[in-house]
Amino acid sequence: MKLPIYQVDSFASEPFEGNPAAVCPLNDWLPDGLMQQIAMENNLSETAFFVEQDEDYRLRWFTPTTEVDLCGHATLASAHVLFEHLNYDQLIIRFDSNSGELKVRKEEGRLVMNFPVAALNRTEVPDFLEEGVGVSAKELYRDTDYLYVIESEEQVRNLAPDIRAMAKADVRGIIVTAAADGHGYDFVSRFFAPNAGVDEDPVTGSAHTMLTPYWSRRLGKKKLVGRQVSQRGGTVYCHHKGDRVEISGEACTVMQGEMAI
């Protein structure tokens, strides 16, 4: 069996930036175990699979080790494949997912995703987490991920985390963030998810469902620009809309082919 596959750099205006994701359009679902093997073979932070259902699409995401309920950059990559390669001609793509309905539209050269906002439940900082991050937290919030707020952009950029200590966390991942020093950005972040098989994710769209409401409240503005300061780096445009958040960015295809299964 030949499986079409695309590799897309999300939150990137040119190749080798942003976050790479594999996208596999399917006519029918493959067995879960086989999709997990494909994701492991790709060895990217996420592989997305989608199947057309009625006028919409069912979308699922796999890291090299597990299926996850929400992934921003692979949703962006899937929409890019539909718009740019599969001749999708409607204004809005609707994805059915384990996190509910997700919508993606084109706007001003970007792809705009509409996601449910995450909760901000303030909590105490566990000792192992401070050990893992290596910098004291000003604030810590918890939902699917931890949101670990520190003092400065310089600290975020210079983190040398203890990934083994971070792996003690019983959440998907740890978002570390601080206010930006300028340069057109409102905040910076990095994202670590060793329990999902991703020590550091280059650019994490879904993390901005926590980052956006936090920084919107703290900075008193609805529209924000975030920069994920991983080695690859990427820019995420955010709009806080009550119980939803719009997350947008660019994407580019870097590889297209077939996988022999």
Instruction: Tell me, yes or no, whether 72 and 128 share the same domain.
Output: no
Burial label, 16 (beta-carbon count in 10 A; 0-12, 13-18, 19+):
exposed
- What is the structure's pLDDT at 227? 96
Residues of the chain with confidence (pLDDT) below 50: none
Instruction: Tell me, yes or no, whether 102 and 16 share the same domain.
Output: yes
Residue 231, domain member (yes or no) = yes
Instruction: Tell me, yes or no, whether 132 and 71 share the same domain.
Output: no
Instruction: Tell me, yes or no, whether 150 and 217 share the same domain.
Output: yes
DSSP summary character for residue 118: P
Handedness of CA 98, 71, 182, 109 (dihedral sign): negative
For the stretch 98-141, pLDDT in tens is 989 999 999 988 999 999 999 999 999 999 999 999 999 999 99
CATH (domain of 186): 3.10.310.10
Instruction: Tell me, yes or no, whether 152 and 54 share the same domain.
Output: no
Residue 116, domain member (yes or no) = no
- What is the structure's pLDDT at 54? 87
Beta pairing partners, 114? 103, 246
Instruction: Tell me, yes or no, whether 126 and 212 share the same domain.
Output: yes
How far is residue 41's CA from residue 200's CA, in Å, rounded to a whole number? 18
- What is the structure's pLDDT at 108? 87
Residue 175, domain member (yes or no) = yes
Total structural domains within the chain: 2
Catalytic one among 46, 153, 200, 250? 46
Catalytic, 46? Answer yes
Instruction: Tell me, yes or no, whether 169 and 106 share the same domain.
Output: no
- What is the structure's pLDDT at 182? 85
Instruction: Tell me, yes or no, whether 145 and 234 share the same domain.
Output: yes
Closest Cα to residue 251, out of 83, 5, 7, 11?
11
